[in-house]
Amino acid sequence: MSSAVARKLESIRAKGAMRHIEVANLLGTRPETVSRWNQGRSYPHANTEKTLLELEYIVDQLSDFYEPNEARQWMFSPQKHLDGASPAELIRIGRIDDVRRLVNQLRDAVYV
């Protein structure tokens, strides 16, 4: 049986086409650590887990209007509404709220 963290990682992989190394870079950890989380051998610290949950939420929202590879490209591409920064860069430096705001704006525009 997989852990809740492993299910979140699988969701990010399936809906956002992100590999463990990319998730590790976004969360400021090592790919080996993410692999241990996926295997249930360890768990992220509280702040890292919070960011992982936020990342999974963002990827899930993007999956409403992007295919997995498109969602991945969006995450790593400069965005005009983020002053040319990529969502991945902002997540790495702790500005995940800015990314969530933009995703919410995109979602609202799609469903209007």
Q: In this structure, what token pair is assigned to residue 32? A: 């080996």
SS3 95: coil
The answer to whether the beta carbons of residues 95 and 58 sit under 8 Å apart is no
Residue 38 CB burial class (10 angstroms; 0-12, 13-18, ≥19): buried
Give the pLDDT of residue 98.
96
CB neighbour list of residue 42: distance below 8 Å, 6 or more residues apart:
33, 36
For 27-72, the pLDDT digits (tens) are 999 999 999 999 999 999 999 999 999 999 999 999 999 999 999 9
Rounded-to-integer distance, Cα 76 and Cα 100, Å: 15
Which pTM value belongs to this model?
0.91
